[in-house]
Structure 1
């Protein structure tokens, strides 16, 4: 293009680096390739040269540069500041000032058809308020493939008005002479007086912003890494805000996700002032990006990499749900030919973990901690020390090269200092939150930049392996949510998959099932499920795989494309699970159709329905099964509500092949405790007496009916729960892959003794806790119970339980007492619950009727209560019956 002082993006391409700098040339290339880039013009390197020449300061600057020793931190900072002050004090040449302001004046004005009408153009310009713009540096050596100049020069946001714009352009010009820029150019072998341009771009008032890497910059894998915050992106680059971090595969599946606590956001108010605002605790913990936004960003990243033929580091902003690409540059820290693993990455370190954060720069290194709280502390860093600071600052770059490793309490892996540490090859862990509190000056630590962990002392490494299980009578299964984890889980050689949640596949696709339903594209939904489930099935050929139908809660999936706008007031108790499926039969049948399609190819599938509370629901699902001709898939339900537990006999009689306990929800619903509420976590316990009684009762009933039993909640990986379940006679246990071998070895030991007894002599009720024999005393396994002041050891000592026979005797006595208490209550209230569907039930000579129920409460003389279970009537006028059970039961009845 014609080289002038001003160049619009439409006139630029990637070939114009010498004129527009690396960033400006890339923006022009993207703009003309139809990527969503905000409009901008560039004050070119020719304008920079003109500025130096007209102001006659070039020789003065060169003289100062020739006297600088870049390894002298204080001297470097002083001389750099002197140069910048000279440049900012210089007057902008009038001809250059006029061209800049004319271009600024033309922002947001469509010039087509107005060139011949200067009067109309003048009216439009005068009537329009000046726009907010950003002014960013674009050096000719920046954004090149062999060196990252990210953040070396200044950038300014929310600039408005003529004088403010000219001031910021001069400061961008001057920023090529910051201490870190001078040092960086010297170490990289660049000329001191490299060219620089200034990009003036329409300001996006970001609701969200962040950075995308088209290849993972730390792990060197093909996955796309996205970091995001609320508000403007300066919080990420500066390290002030710890961002959300998502890893997305090239197939747009969510591989990994870390939602950060984003306590603040940087925003622009109506006057243009940039402010840091506190976020509410609720907003702070929210996920920044919606799933479809995440997918769109990953698509842009891959397209930009394909366009430039190199992995890209991309900045983005989102305003009113519109995505904008602000800049892109090559990733400079990837190693050629890397397979995604480096020496040491496969090794897990041994030793106490002092703190954890984000893995910002790969490598493992040990050294002595030196805490830096201000710039004055930098002088105490010696070669081989571990630099610990709240937030790594680009001005620390001279000192960073001395460090063996870097640890910060704030920031993300796309903060500038983290990028530079990767380029320098220094292991770094960022965003630990508490590094300054838990680490001390002079303490020796080991920094694991692969995993984001800091260990005490010089840690030794050990190999991390997923090991095969040992064979047991009780089958050991694994839980798999996404196809990417199936191969890892298969290394356990487990007996099958005890839980596949469809929500994992749904979330990865980024689209809510309701959207498929509304668009009439349920076949697309089915195809997506077939693809994902098929990958898992291929990894576990010949082994049973149990799939849970979708459990769509409104608060968990509001970010999916096409999700309903309204979030229920109490989503946990809202429209999800089987009740949602039965309301949305198209979605339900698409899920079942996907499972049937794969089962017809020979895969061994079972499907189970969540949140069951009635026999009617299961009958309805069974009917749909039959209508669709599904005969080669096992039919099961989740037992995760007290209702399902109570109705277990009735549910089995519908025709179940298996049940699986969802202990997370069963505990929550039984104890009336929100498992997401930190204030009541101290009493949330799967080992609570009320939960254990339900598990035992359901297992016994299912064994009578020939229905297979399993567990797929997180409690299945807890040793105390496994011990309890094995003794109750559960058929299988589903666990996480990393503990499968350990749990299988525990089960094998337990199977050496009695299995399936109704009562174990080592467990008894005690205020909701569980007690275990420990020699001649019993210690309650409940750390929340108050300690006995007289017990110096801090353990709650209880009298020994005694042998099994005495325990059963005691329990029977307690049950008889309870039965007698119930009889007395009935007598005092003069009422009895009877089944009005039984023949002969009459009152005052009339047939007993209940318009909405087959149960009626009537006044009668108290009848003797049978302690055996009531016989069920032959007729079944209702799918739901309340059967009073006053059976003499043992402790787990």
Structure 2
């Protein structure tokens, strides 16, 4: 063992500082810094990274271990074998007696060796940029006695999960260069617990936000209970907003087994205020101490027992917008100044599809080969956008289209990218000219001449572009988010959504510029599969372990026809009613099989949060045939979560047979369900006023599906545009839907609307 490691197999937290991160890892260094700052941190120690290194070298397993995990990251079978072999080597090797004794001696110094402790991995690489495998290491609660040694070894073994191996291979990290430390810390039997943000997590303004619930903090962090929410003015200490929740359950330690269990909260405490004014004052004081010590606003986990507050974790808040980059109206040069010659006269009006106000030079795009002229800060003006225009859309400051509505490609992608957009102008592409400076208002749907004459206030601009508030209200109905393109995953995750209710696979394929058949023919099936794997993985990684529901390919023939190889696509009078969705997949099982192989590889990599969703099914026969193809691809429908889109009246009326076919969930695609129920083309301006997702016929179908699914223990969701509308949210929550998936810009509003409806239902039930 290296000299320092041999002398100090463990380091007590009071001796740890930030410069010890190579020995104690990110988590250990943070706890040590908090201790040194005088914050009340539960006592504990770190089994150092050098100790792990000494163990694998002293016992002679190091070379075999590193050889076992040096595998092809794209070979899912090899990854699984590597994980199993690494675990076998580490857990199957006895801890040397001297090291075992030293760890247990340190444990004995915690309350005479009778303490319940938390054992947590602390990877030395976890604070590297994008080191997202770090969150995959282990945590064990309420550990006692000799079990501690085995839990330490399990933390070491967690350094070699499939996902961790894959990540390091992809990022170029050598396995032998990565070590791991283990934090051992006395458990706090919290009577009250929660989280605190020392500044507003979106804007950084001087508002402290505290969430609190009864019992252990796992309930608040996991979202299993709705906590009280206190918003405090930092300057005055005054509570400016207070929400006292109905706290039905709490997490506590079972006094007999020591395990963490869920208990019902006593009736007289369910709606009682968790924190008194003195406790809030003490938390504010500790939060400010932590912020002053680190120099940045902090996200703090805390626990309170016998009147004493303990700090369990503190980390910087990473979601605060830059006020200087957020204030005012931007022009195409990236500044927020008024341009000369602006007169503010309105040129045309459309539908405000993505919020925000932006100014810049127009770039009219009539053909795909004109996309290269779109630069940073330009305004794309086109008849309508397509998936292969996404790279240019990401460069643009704003988007204007002649056609489309709130469910058009331009509208959906613009909202996900946070780019202001106006759609359905009817004449922009033929009226505006290249280089012409305009201002678009994505709220009002207006396009005016020149740059904006008046800048919006800083607060207005912040409200337009700030990320969704990650301090979300806890609700029984899950609120998820729709994602069209993988590049929007990070912004989507910042909403605090409970997962992804709809990830569209077709954008990953169409962005290649080739039809699936053409791509496979010219690049090979494996390359095609990897396009899907890489796109889905980017979102699954960002949200892990929250679920990500991926819809299999559902592109109409007219979208395929514009791609290379599209000349073989059939010409259809109405492609939306034609050769798309599951009907195309079942007709072309070889291509569909590539999609399923991508899912299988993702599952083998450890992305167990990925769910498979089949679009445009009509009946049980569709589902059973697709299920058989899943099984043929090596996907076990009994172990993986999969389900269907309810987009046709036929599927809604066949829901009982679909449930009996084994689906785990049914998700409403209200855009299609509405147009097929009402015989209204949602993109046809002549009948657009008849498109109504709240039509009684549509609601009746949705209500009956939810009721039947509840009888069969099948989850229900909505991922169509209507899921972002308050009236639809009210209806769905009252009907008992399992989850609602909203557009990125609407998640926060839907979260609060769901909470309001649920609280009203609760009050009505007790009256």
Using the size of structure 1 for normalisation, the TM-score is 0.38
Between the two structures, name the one with larger relative contact order (CA 8 Å, sep ≥ 6).
2
* Structure with larger Rg: 1
Using the size of structure 2 for normalisation, the TM-score is 0.44
Could you say which structure has the higher helix fraction?
2
